[in-house]
Amino acid sequence: MLAQEDGPIPLNLGKGGDVLTYAHPSEVGLDSSYIHSEVSKIITNGIKKKAFPGAQVLVAKNGKIIFHQAYGYHTYDSIRAVALNDIYDLASVTKITAALPALMKLVDEGVLDLDQAFSTYWKPWRKRKDKRDITLRQILAHQAGLEPYIVLLNTVRKKNGTLKKRFVRTKPNPRFRRRAYDNIYVKSRFIKKAHRLIDRSQVSDKKSYRYSGLAFLIFPDLIQQLTGQSFSEYLQSNFYGPIGLNTVNFNPKLKSYTNFIVPTEQDSTFRKALTHAWVHDENAALLGGVSGNAGLFASATDLAQLMQIYLQYGVYNGKRYFSKAVIEEFTRVQFPENDNRRGLGFDKPLLNNAELALSKAYPAPEVSPDSFGHSGFTGTFVWADPENQLVYIFLSNRVYPSRSHRQIYDLNIRPAVQQVFYQARLAIE
């Protein structure tokens, strides 16, 4: 049964047979009682152990949403219950829901070549000896040796913790227009400084798996250079708008959403307030809330539709958004010989995942090797399994009130909930 008393969340149903609809778990051969009991047990324990104050889980099987349940509250004061249409800060899930759609389309169109040096498209790297030959394939598979992260906040913050006025102001003016929070406006040209820091960052000589989000901070500007549209406009006009994804966007505080937006962290170092409807990730915030690394917000049903497109190899509601070939290429393991499980931007199961116990597996041990998805620092997780025709969406705000809360990892909650939907079929066979 669906959790929301008023009925299912409306979807862009269209007329085709390739769109998400709603069904009871039994219609796709799954045990509803087992699912509800086991998922509730795992999530309730997570709330009790302070992994997160609330969460929601959506699962689609065979093109049908068979489970969508909300648990707990936005915060531990138990004032606002989690609702099925709530909007969440996706953190690194942004990589596969914002950066990748744009990049895949440009690869499809022949504008980008995965095996060309990235410096072909990003001129500053032509002058960098350690970067000029790195390919887009290596970057997207986290095989380029790039630094994992650069803390842009260290550039705009003094040693005593106050923000430097040459980079940040409390009121907007023509030179300070990028908004990071209610009363924080960043110098418009700060993005150029951020790019310089990335361009000059160190590169490891050893080309092995090393997760890095640096290039994803560059991608929005690259996409604008290649298409003539801003990153947000390009995504809206080519994907979110045509698909009917009404909640997927950057900077929801500046939009008139009726959905409630779930808060993230009580920020004591940068914003000095509860981060609510503004992106949690500080790098994305300093870039005006828009990046390919973090910054996107969405509801579970909108995420499910986007993941269903990937699962269906690029087609939804009778329209093709990506070629089958490009989806297959981006979702396959790129460098298994280097013990690198990653696809192109997409995360993949551990290479020996099927041999592992649930406590050691990533994600659930029974997902197929062809499956793919991504996790987010704020407590989000999305995964598509074409072989089993299963889409899994897990949304939470595990960073509330602090990012130091790591129980979601210690309790292995996201893979454990995912595994329930593979075990449910066994319960009735």
Q: Which residue ranges form the domains of the chain, and what is each CATH number? A: 21-423 (3.40.710.10)
Residue pair 183/172 in contact (Cβ under 8 Å)? The answer is no
Could you give the CA distance from residue 319 to residue 15 in angstroms, rounded to a whole number?
A: 11
Residue 257's pLDDT is 82
CA distance 352 to 234: 38
- What angle is formed at CA 366 by the lines to CA 311 and CA 50, rounded to 5 degrees? 95
Average pLDDT, the chain: 95
Assign 80 to helix, strand or coil: coil
Q: Are 179 and 243 in contact (CB under 8 A)?
A: no
pLDDT at 207: 86
- Residue 6 pLDDT exceeds 50: no
Residue 12 CA to residue 7 CA, distance in Å, equals 15
The pLDDT-based confidence of 259 (bands split at 50, 70, 90) is confident
- 187 has a pLDDT exceeding 70: yes
Entry pTM: 0.96
Residues 26/32, Cβ–Cβ less than 8 Å = yes
**What backbone phi and psi angles, to 5 degrees, belong to 226?**
-80, -30
**What is residue 203's three-state secondary structure?**
strand
pLDDT of residue 7: 53
For the segment 91-146, what is each residue's pLDDT rounded down to a tens digit?
999 999 999 999 999 999 999 999 999 999 999 999 999 999 999 999 999 999 99
Let me know if 307 is exposed, middle or buried by CB neighbors in 10 A (0-12, 13-18, 19+). Answer: buried
Structural element, H or E, at residue 380: strand 380-385
**Beta strand spans in 109-188 (E):** 168-169, 176-181, 184-187
Tens digits of per-residue pLDDT, 195-254? 999 999 999 998 899 999 999 999 999 999 999 999 999 999 999 999 999 999 999 999
When pLDDT is cut at 50, 70 and 90, the band that residue 4 belongs to is very low
Please say if the pLDDT value at position 16 is more than 70: no
Residue 55 phi/psi, 5° resolution?
A: -160, 170
Residue 426's pLDDT is what? 52
- Strand-pair category, 168-169 with 88-89: unpaired
